[in-house]
Amino acid sequence: MSFITTYQSLFPHNMYSKWLFKSFVRWKIPDKRPTDEVDLGANLPQEDDFAMTNITSAFYEFFFFPENYRKLYDQHISFTKNRGHKEEWLAAYDYLIKKALVNRQGDLPVLKNPANTGRLDVLFSHYPDARFVHIFRNPVLVYLSTKKFFLSLFPTVQLQKTSHQQIVNLIVDLYGALMRDYLDKKPTIPTSQLVEIRFEEFEKDPLSYLSETYCHFDMKQWPQVMPIMKSYCQHLRDYKKNVYSISKTELERITKEWSFAFKAFNYDVPENLEITDA
């Protein structure tokens, strides 16, 4: 199997002198992601929309130009702004995947990209044999996790000034758009090619869910892959997730504006969540 690495997302065109650039990346990149202590590394998997931003016009440009986030969504996820751009985007995506296959010397690309949640129809039309895994989580925790990440990331990369409230508005709007697009487009995917997993259940017994996913997709590699997955799960056994609190105002807003998602994925406000007046 192959995947997009952090190094490839930074230098998607580089293949032959990567020993030099990769050494620089290893020197500069932290071992952990500052917002949640998730492992980082030049050879570890990365979201492919970061790589696409370095190849062509792409959705993750909104990190640099947050005022343009809705325009970029319409251009690069729903593809409603410029119909011709869809073919350009798919050609660039093909190029990126082929390079990942060569780079990792694999025959099956495995891609993790939140933005693809809203592109199911486009991806399935272009890759009719593709298989999709949607891991969903309580919307309140999605909001709090994304808020922590974005408030940390935006000041380091943005080329347009933006306020705390603008970032919050962006999160609320984008999650709503992604989940609506996902729910609208999900019926176009054959059930044999889509697996939906509740995150809170997955983290309790990841090996069982991984085994079921391989079985659902009729993939025969699970006996060979299982020891690797088991070792990785053991590596994560001491990982501690962030603990969050939320204001009453924020909670009221997201439970109202994301009510469709709470209903679709059968969630309520998490128990033991600290709710503040601020």
Record the tokens describing residue 87, joined without a space: 């073919």
Place of tokens 């593709």: 130
Predicted local distance difference test score (pLDDT) of residue 102: 83
Q: Decide: 213 and 195 in contact? Cβ < 8 Å.
A: yes
Q: What is the pLDDT along the chain (278 residues), one digit of tens a residue?
A: 788 888 888 887 775 556 555 665 665 676 777 677 777 777 788 899 999 999 988 999 999 999 999 999 999 999 987 767 899 999 999 999 988 888 777 778 899 999 999 999 999 999 999 999 999 999 999 999 999 999 999 999 999 999 999 999 999 999 999 999 999 999 999 999 999 999 999 999 999 999 999 999 999 999 999 999 999 999 888 878 888 999 999 999 999 999 999 999 999 999 989 999 86
What is the C-alpha to C-alpha distance for residues 246 and 143, in angstroms, rounded to an integer?
10
Candidates 192, 202, 230, 4; CA nearest to 222 is 230
Predicted local distance difference test score (pLDDT) of residue 80: 87
Q: pTM value? A: 0.91
Name the CA radius of gyration of the chain, rounded. Answer: 19
Task: Tell me the domain boundaries of the chain.
Answer: 6-199
39-52 CB burial, b ≥16 within 10 A, e <16: eebbeebbbbbbbb
Distance of CA 260 to the CA centre of its chain: 21
Predicted local distance difference test score (pLDDT) of residue 20: 55
Predicted local distance difference test score (pLDDT) of residue 38: 78
3-state secondary structure the chain: CECCEHHHHHCCCCCCCHHHHHHHHHHHCCCECCCCCCECCCCCECCHHHHHHCCCCCHHHHHCCHHHHHHHHHHHCCCCCCHHHHHHHHHHHHHHHHHHHHHHCCCCECCCCHHHHHCHHHHHHHCCCCCEEEEECCHHHHHHHHHHHHHHHHHHHCCCCCCHHHHHHHHHHHHHHHHHHHHHHHHHCCHHHEEEEEHHHHCCCHHHHHHHHHHHCCCCCHHHHHHHHHHHHHHCCCCCCCCCEEEHHHHHHHHHHCHHHHHHCCCCCCCCCEEECC
Predicted local distance difference test score (pLDDT) of residue 28: 64
Pairing of strands 194-198, 274-276: unpaired
